[in-house]
Amino acid sequence: MAVAIARKSRTLSLKERVSAEEWQARVDLAACYRLAHHYRMTDMIYTHISARVPGPEEHFLLNPYGLMWDEITASSLVKVDIEGRGVDLGESDVNYAGFVIHGAVHAARHDVGCVMHTHTRAGMAVSALKQGLLPLTQTAMRFHGRVAYHDYEGVALDLDEQKRLVADLGDKNVMILRNHGLLTCGSTVASAFSQMFWLERACDVQMAILSANAEINQPNQGVPEHTAAQFDPNYRDMSPREWAALTRMIDRTDPSYRN
């Protein structure tokens, strides 16, 4: 009898209080933050990666304001509503301003399960170029005709900007925020991260090419379009295999993100 009472009085862990589907979403998103840290896509405690919580509620998971990305775990993620307000915690635990961009995408695109936004050196550099991302390498050509652009309007605090951002994004999953940074979205965390990884790589190589100050070899006509079709996720989605390998990598070094 005493054992039964003790068990009943035990405080349930977050993992025990949420659905299995939400817990898996938390683990995946925490892994994404750790991978972004590993690949140097962080911006100290700022910017976000958000994931939709499975279920009928319009709830999303977000990093708590003030944590470095290598500190984030499945249980430390904050649940917010479509306005970016904390569902289980006070609003002080959420960088509300940063959710303006994410909230706009999630509200308009119900096919999107994850939104990733970064301020990397290469991403910001390409965002400041008038021509944007150029089809100079295979990595860049996979995005040919699939990149949206949104003009800079200042720090994302104005809710009125959301409608213009969503209109510019349309049905694309990759966007360059001019003079700002990069944004990717996908039906899964794995898909959003995969696109960000390769978009970041394309931007990094583009800046290296332009800095060489040498004649550039342009691809033959039609090749960028053909290459983009070959990499179309509807034809060849490698993100599940990539994700499995990536999570094995971080599990070997620091599996604490699963806590």
The CATH classification of domain 14-247, taken from the options 3.40.225.10, 2.60.40.10, 3.40.50.20, 3.30.390.30: 3.40.225.10
Distances (CA, A) of 124 to 26, 117, 155: 28, 11, 14
pLDDT tens figures, 61-79: 999 889 999 999 999 999 9
Domain boundaries, the chain: 14-247
**Cα distances (angstroms) measured from residue 146 to each of 46, 170, 237:** 27, 11, 15
At 193, the pLDDT band (50, 70, 90 cuts) reads very high
Chain mean pLDDT for the chain: 90
More confident residue, 2 or 107: 107
pLDDT of residue 9: 47
Confidence of residue 89 (pLDDT cuts 50, 70, 90): low
Using the Cα atoms of residue 233, residue 42, residue 160 and residue 61 in order, give the sign of their dihedral. Answer: positive
What CA–CA distance (Å, rounded) separates 36 from 109? Answer: 23
Residue 2 confidence (pLDDT) above 80: no
Q: H/E/C letters for each residue in the chain?
A: CHHHHHHHHCCCCHHHHCCHHHHHHHHHHHHHHHHHHHCCCCECCECCEEEECCCCCCCEEECCCCCCHHHCCCCCCEEECCCCCECCCCHHHCCHHHHHHHHHHHHHCCCCCEEEEECCHHHHHHHCCCCCCCCCCHHHHCCCCCEEEECCCCCCCCCCHHHHHHHHHCCCCEEEECCCEEEEEECCHHHHHHHHHHHHHHHHHHHHHHHCCCCCCCCCCCHHHHHHHHCCCCCCCCHHHHHHHHHHHHHHHCHHHHC
What percentage of the chain carries pLDDT values higher than 90? Answer: 73
